[in-house]
Structure 1
């Protein structure tokens, strides 16, 4: 394997090279965790890897088979219900350092947050699903400014304590529910070492080829901790040396169809870019500022043969969706027509007509 081939192998490992028969929950379980702060785009991240519609994915989230919560890093992720507890046990202590610091700025220490958790539990008991604003209103916690992060820190803390997670959507509003009322807590727990090994294996099998630093970035754990985790499962993975760098990948990654031509319209914050520390394998350095910002905002991207060639955005209308594209380099209209054929899966996913402008 050479460096230019890494992106092709990642398309395969991330189940993007061809549509699978997997369910939405199976896709999320396979990838471990999928960044999901942009809820609409996160649903398409799942939909782009299977043949489920947006409505079907929304139903899976509403049913509690896919959980949306803060995990691994201080941002939302989709996690399969059968993974939520061991991943929380593993990663919550490190992410809580962030929420504790944020809450402390408003005079909320761990004791006060525990007291609030008790109140939240009473509010949501009995499958009561409330929005964050509704919860804050019941707690009599008022915003001090538009930039007020206190309510977010309170709910993140409750998520990381395994108390709450996403509830059913209330129209377009996200709600919270008690986690144990959505997903039964298992009787056994993994040790930290077992959890790290499981997380590392899941990551490299679903995201490889990837490096130690890629895994460290994605998981939120230090390179030292990640190195030990990789060492514990090294015999279960394959590895390749590329330009004096070790890349790890699943032992059963097939070479079949890896290098067939492909075009993908992928969502903002998709795992194909965001799950790696460095992204030169998939996007040239000179184009990176056009696809994502230094403060972590990722745009929807257009990929051709594993390389990012432009960005796109969608506007949902009453009877159609409008798609606008911006290519990094000038492209002939005849070539655009071929590229635009790749929007068909998104059209099927939305179950509405798409107009490209």
Structure 2
């Protein structure tokens, strides 16, 4: 018998590999999840590391430095970690729509197609001469385009060229991720047809996030419902099930995986803000009760607080009191209900976070 919300919550933890840890490294985790929201880069590195056997932040940075994953804007106008081999077809699906939606903003900033092409030429030349470039160096190369004169023009050119799949953020130099020419940096990239790409994205999403609905997938990617349904129709290897009268899709192996790793699934998980377990769905109530959503996303402003997961449910949020010369960093939990785990268990989970 399906206990809808409880089973969905556990199955999603299993699907997202927050238990089991059979994916060998950071690049494999990002490839499995498809995209990992990364506007907060330290949080994104932690989200990926939590799903690897060694829980190493250095391993995630190594995947960025080696060109296996990149940081870009493939969807929702938000930075994500993405497999380098997949960024081209992902932006190929999403760019036409985002480009049309940004027309008025481009006009306000005085950006036309000639300027976009010139920005690309200047960047590609500088990249060929210097390799991966910090943001300041790219803006310097773009000075002739008036990026100092019009506030927001430089940022929007970064956004556009990344959304077009031409550039992305790659290696991390200790202070920031540097911008790269994807053709030069990422090597061979997959080039499926549009129909194949839609099916592949549906397979990626539902295998790694399921059980989930078509609305979840549409919200996650920003694709039209027509594209979402086409992708689901052509996807292979997914199981459909109806929960409370709504169609969900998932990897058919997920329930058995959840049963196998039940103890790990029900353990305490300290997740950073923007983790896919909370953010990756239009309807996240299986994990986060509706009445508690404002405590995680205050004012529905798009800023997600770090969450405490216990028994497969969100039971609180957490922050860190920074270390001083005399005291170590300390966990500051805030519980939603009496289900908050004991302090000693929370401290143990805090000590086990990736470093």
TM, length-normalised to structure 1: 0.89
State the partner residue of 2:142.
Answer: 139
Alpha-carbon RMSD across the aligned residues, in angstroms, is 2.2
Match of 1:355 in 2: none
| Larger mean Cα displacement after TM superposition, 193-202 or 157-166 | 157-166
Equivalent residue for 2:112? 109
- CA contact under 8 A between 1:2 and 1:242: conserved in structure 2? no
Alignment of 1:297 onto 2:300: no
2:349 equivalent among 337, 342, 350: 342
Q: Name the counterpart of 2:275.
A: 270
| Residues 176-195 of structure 1: pairs in structure 2 closer than 5 A | 176-186=179-189, 189-195=191-197
2:331–2:347 CA contact under 8 A, matched in 1:
no
* Among candidates 73, 79, 84, match of residue 81 of structure 1: 84
| Cα displacement (A) at 1:137 | 2.5
Aligned position for 1:57:
60
- In structure 1, which of residues 257, 262, 285 is the aligned counterpart of residue 290 of structure 2? 285
Could you list the runs of 5+ residues in structure 1 that have no partner in the other structure?
351-357
Cα deviation for residue 180 of structure 1 reads: 1.6
Q: How much does 1:342 deviate?
A: 2.1
Give the one of 27, 30, 36 matched to 1:28.
30
Cα shift at 1:225: 1.8
Aligned equivalents of 2:130 and 2:148: distance in 1?
Answer: 26
Find the aligned partners of 2:209 and 2:322 in 1 and give their Cα distance: 31
Aligned to 2:191, the other structure's residue is in SS state coil
1:1-357 equivalent positions in 2, closer than 5 A: 1-4=2-5, 5-50=7-52, 51-140=54-143, 141-143=146-148, 148-186=151-189, 189-233=191-235, 236-255=237-256, 256-257=259-260, 259-260=262-263, 261-293=266-298, 294-314=300-320, 317=323, 320-330=328-338, 335-346=342-353, 349-350=354-355
**How far did 1:343 drift?**
2.2
Aligned partner of residue 319 in structure 2, secondary structure? strand
- d(CA) in 2 for partners of 1:37 and 1:79? 13
Q: Which whole-Å CA distance do the structure 2 matches of 1:126 and 1:314 have between them? A: 42
Shift of 1:177: 1.6
Cα pair distance change 1:93/1:55, threshold 3 Å: same
In structure 2, how many angstroms separate the alpha carbons of the residues matched to 1:79 and 1:209?
22
Shift of 1:144: 5.7
Aligned pair count reads 343
1:216-239 deviations in Å (ceiling 9; x for gaps): 111111122211211222x62112
- Tell me the CA shift for residue 122 of structure 1: 1.3
1:9/1:258 contact within 8 Å kept: no
Contact map agreement 2:25 2:59 (CA 8 A) in 1:
no
Aligned counterparts of 2:43 and 2:277: Cα–Cα separation in 1? 13
Quote the residue 1:354 is aligned against: none
Closer, same or farther in 2 for the Cα pair 1:142/1:236, shift >3 Å? closer
How far the C-alpha of 1:116 sits from its partner, in A, is 1.5
Question: Does structure 2 conserve the Cα–Cα contact (< 8 Å) formed by 1:303 and 1:309?
Answer: yes
Residue 100 of structure 1, CA deviation: 4.3
Q: Take 1:184 and 1:19, find their aligned partners in 2: how far apart are those partners?
A: 28
Residue 171 of structure 2 aligns to a residue in which SS? coil
1:236 counterpart SS class: coil
Q: Residues of 2 paired with 1:258 and 1:19: CA distance?
A: 10
Query: 1:92-148: CA deviations, max 9, x gaps?
Result: 222333444433211112222112211111122145222223322332234468xx4
Query: How many angstroms does 1:181 deviate by?
Result: 1.9
> 1 CA distance for matches of 2:322 and 2:183?
35
Separation in structure 1 between the aligned mates of residue 97 and residue 323 of structure 2, nearest angstrom: 42
